[in-house]
Every structure is written in structure tokens, then in C-alpha cells.
Structure 1
Amino acid sequence: MGVQPSRGGGETDVLGIDACGKQGWVGIRLTGGAYAESLVAVSLAALIERAGAVDTIGVDMPLGLVEKGWRAADLAARSLLGTRRSSVFLIAPRLAWQEPDYAAAAHRCQELTGNRLSRQAWALAPKLLEARACWLADERVHEVHPEVSFCALAGGVPAPYAKKTWRGQNMRRALLAEAGVVLPDGLGEADQIAADDVLDAAAAAWSAHRIALGIAERVPPRPEPDAAGRLIEIRY
């Protein structure tokens, strides 16, 4: 995938992306920090290609992988989120994701971390590897985590309600609106996407905007290096 050039000279244009099951990936584009459009594509690379010359891309998916042990980014994010810590999966080392099936991956994870990989984490494998390939090919792509973003939007307080609940979704939509990301009732392409996935993509876009402005924070404060040379960090 080629790296698209920044438009330059105009308002910051960014894209936040979340995986959305069989539909593939949903993206929310912000221009100048405000909602611009939604995009949906089965392939992450196709969605990024359709987005064109955005400045920064935030993807809700683990991207950097360690060689041994658990990622410091996940441990730090769990500590930050408190009651929402279960939303952050512990991501196995790189070699575990190269195994052909769950049993082999869980065994390799046991060797490299002392614990087995969860089935929930292994279910991420196809999209994790797809997203990692995009990350390695395009320096605009950054790892984000919506619950970390929503915690920051709420002044450092983890969300008290789960994202699939009525109160949880209304609270997250309100937090985004307070930050200038007002999601319209009609989203076009994303109208048929689950509400929590849309909200997560919007939170990813909010974080991408902060990255583009140079004001985003990161966990952990001192990121580990990925074998490919990029830093393993969650930006928000």
C-alpha cells in the first residue's frame, strides 16, 4: 500500500477506524476535528485507499508485537482503565500469531509469556494481521483504543457503563459531541453498522486528530520497539 501525501495547507483531515464483524471495517473521517463522513469496506487496505490523502489514521486494533512476554502498552492501558480494563486484551508475542490454529498459538503463547492466549484474543487474528500489514506499510497508521480515548474525553475517568448499553452509548456520543465530534443521525455508509462500532471509530478519529495536531498522549510513556522498528504504543 502506498503512502498517500498529506494535502497540506488546509484543515487537518483524519480517519478513525474500527473493525465491525462481517462488514469488515468502519471509518469516521474528521475535517478540522469535526465529522465529515463515514466509510465502510470489507478490506482495511481498501478503506484506507478510499479515504485518500488523510493526514493521520487511528485504528482500533493491536498493531505492534513483542517477541516475548506481554505488551507493556496493554498492561498500562488496563491499569489506566480500571473497571473497563477487560476491554483491553493481552496480546500475544509475534510468533504466536504465525501459528495455524488456536491450539498451536495458545501453546506458543504459553512458552513466550507463561500464560495461554485467550480465545477472544485469538479471534482477532485475521483482522490483527491485516491491520498490522497496513501499519507496517503506512506511517500514517497508529494504534488507538476507544476506551482509552473515552476515558481521556471524560477527564481521566473510565466509562461507568458498557459500550453496548443504552446509557453507555448515549454517554459516549455526548462525550464526543462535547469535544466537537457531533455524529449525525444519518451516517450514510455506516447507517447499518452497530452503534458501538461507529462510536469506537469516532473515538479513534478523535485520537487521530490529536496525533495530527501533535498533542496526543501515549501508553506506555516509554514504548517498546516492535521487531520492524516502529514503537508499540496506544495513542489517545
Structure 2
Amino acid sequence: MEWMDVLGVDACGKQGWVGVALTDGSYAGSLVDRRLGALIERAGDVRVIAVDMPLGLIEKGWRAADLEARALLGARRSSVFLVAPRPAWQETDFAAAGDRCRELTGSGLSRQAWALAPKLLEARECRAVDERIHEVHPELSFQALAGGAPPAYAKKTWRGQNLRRSLLSRAGLVLPDELGEADRVPADDVLDAAAAAWSAHRIALGTAVRVPERPERDAEGRLVEIRY
């Protein structure tokens, strides 16, 4: 689908992944697929793909990207979980991963973080073969859309979702009442995918912010950063 200029993607539980596509910063459609690679293939020749999932992993310690993102978000800092070093994700169960994380960081691994392991590894596999893919975090995007203050209400609340949809609309990204494929996806996941798409548009324009300003690099020399 050549009309899709950029794509924002969020994980959405058992449904897999939801994508929101933009053309010139405006809503152009939605996609849902169980596999990220399949969703990206269906999107066609987009310029930038922004995924709400940790992509760059370091060998030891906590990622500077997560620590700085938490500092930036203030009241919404809990929306950023600390990403364990790469060796922890190579373990096959939670207990072993927690032990390896503790060995490399001094702290254990949360079950919430470990639950993302399948999708984190899936997204990393896609990025390894596709340079269009960038890591984003929707709460950083929404904070930027709000002028630098974190959203006053959590994303799963009625007021929080209305606020986030309004922020996107003010930026020209108007989500229609009928989304097509994404109609069956939880609203907070759709909003996160839309925020990721907004960040993808900024990446395409060369105006996106890097967190941290001077990123670390992983073992393959890739930047470990969050964009928004």
C-alpha cells in the first residue's frame, strides 16, 4: 500500500500487533496482525516504522534510555519499565532471567517485563533486517503533544483516552470513529499506535527527539535509544 507514508505499531495482547498508518501526518488506515513481520509486509513501502517495544539491548546495567525517559515523564514514569540486559532475554524462564538480570544490574526482573519477552524478541528480529524500524514510547509522544507536561490521566481511563485522542487531533492526527481492522483492538493500544505513528512522522521529517541525547550502542553497534 504505497499511500502509507509512515507506520506506528503497538503490541495488543493475543491479537498480536496494531498499526496506524499516516500520510503527510494524517490518519491513513489501520492494520492488525498476529505477527509483526506480516503487519509490516502488508503496510508496504512505508518510510519509517515506529514500534512501542524495547529494541536495543545492552550487555550490563540498565539502559540510559529508560532511566532518562523515566526522569522526563515524572508522574508517568511508571509507564517505562527498566529493560534487562540482553543476556537475560536469552534465558528460557522467568526465574533464570531474573537471576541473570540481578547478576548484571543488581536488581531482579519484573514479571510484567518478562511477559513481553516473546514480542520483544519478535520485534528485535524484525529490526535486525529492517532499518526503517525505530523504538518509541507513546507516553513521551503524548507528553510532547501536550506541550511538555505528562497527561493528567492514565491511558486506560475514560478521561485519559479522551485527552490522548484530543491531543492527537490537535496535531492533525484525527482518529475516525470507525477504524476498520483496529475496531476490535482495545482503545489504549490504538491510541499508543497512533502516538507511535506521530513519532514516526517526526522521525521521517528529521525533527524527532532522541532519548538519551547521546545514545549507547549495543553489541552490534546499533543505537540504543527511544525516539519521539
2:165 paired residue number:
173
Secondary structure of residue in 2 paired with 1:182: coil
- Do structure 1's residue 192 and structure 2's residue 187 form an aligned pair? no
Secondary structure of residue in 1 paired with 2:144: helix
- Do structure 1's residue 211 and structure 2's residue 203 form an aligned pair? yes
Partner Cα distance (2:154, 2:55) in 1: 24
- Pick from 41, 56, 63 the counterpart of residue 33 of structure 2: 41
- Pick from 143, 156, 160 the counterpart of residue 152 of structure 2: 160
Secondary structure of residue in 1 paired with 2:226: strand
2:15 paired residue number:
23
2:101 paired residue number:
109
Secondary structure of residue in 2 paired with 1:216: coil
Shift of 1:12: 7.7
Partner Cα distance (2:53, 2:204) in 1: 19
**Which runs of 4 or more aligned residues in structure 1 lie more than 2 Å from their structure 2 counterparts after TM superposition?**
none
Contact 1:12/1:32 (<8 A) preserved: no
Within a 5 Å distance, the mapping from 1:67-86 to structure 2 comes to: 67-86=59-78
The one-letter amino acid paired with 1:201 is A
Contact 1:12/1:33 (<8 A) preserved: no
Contact 1:17/1:27 (<8 A) preserved: yes
Partner Cα distance (2:4, 2:167) in 1: 21
The one-letter amino acid paired with 1:218 is R
Partner Cα distance (1:51, 1:229) in 2: 28
Secondary structure of residue in 2 paired with 1:70: coil
Partner Cα distance (2:77, 2:180) in 1: 32
TM-score by length of 2: 0.98
Partner Cα distance (1:156, 1:230) in 2: 28
Partner Cα distance (2:65, 2:58) in 1: 10
Partner Cα distance (1:142, 1:65) in 2: 13
Partner Cα distance (2:64, 2:91) in 1: 22
Shift of 1:142: 0.1
Contact 2:4/2:21 (<8 A) preserved: no
Contact 1:12/1:212 (<8 A) preserved: no
- CA displacement 1:85-124 (0-9 Å, x = unmatched): 0000000000000001000000000000000011110001
Contact 1:24/1:42 (<8 A) preserved: yes
Secondary structure of residue in 1 paired with 2:163: helix
Partner Cα distance (1:133, 1:67) in 2: 17
Matched pairs, number: 228
- Do structure 1's residue 62 and structure 2's residue 51 form an aligned pair? no
**CA 12–49 in structure 1, closer or farther in 2 if over 3 Å, else same:** closer
TM-score by length of 1: 0.95
Unmatched segments (≥5 aa) in structure 1:
1-6
Partner Cα distance (1:50, 1:229) in 2: 29
Secondary structure of residue in 2 paired with 1:198: helix
Secondary structure of residue in 2 paired with 1:142: strand
- Pick from 24, 31, 50 the counterpart of residue 42 of structure 2: 50
The one-letter amino acid paired with 1:164 is K
- Do structure 1's residue 145 and structure 2's residue 145 form an aligned pair? no
1:4 paired residue number:
none
The one-letter amino acid paired with 2:69 is A
Unmatched segments (≥5 aa) in structure 2:
none
RMSD: 1.2
Partner Cα distance (2:114, 2:77) in 1: 18
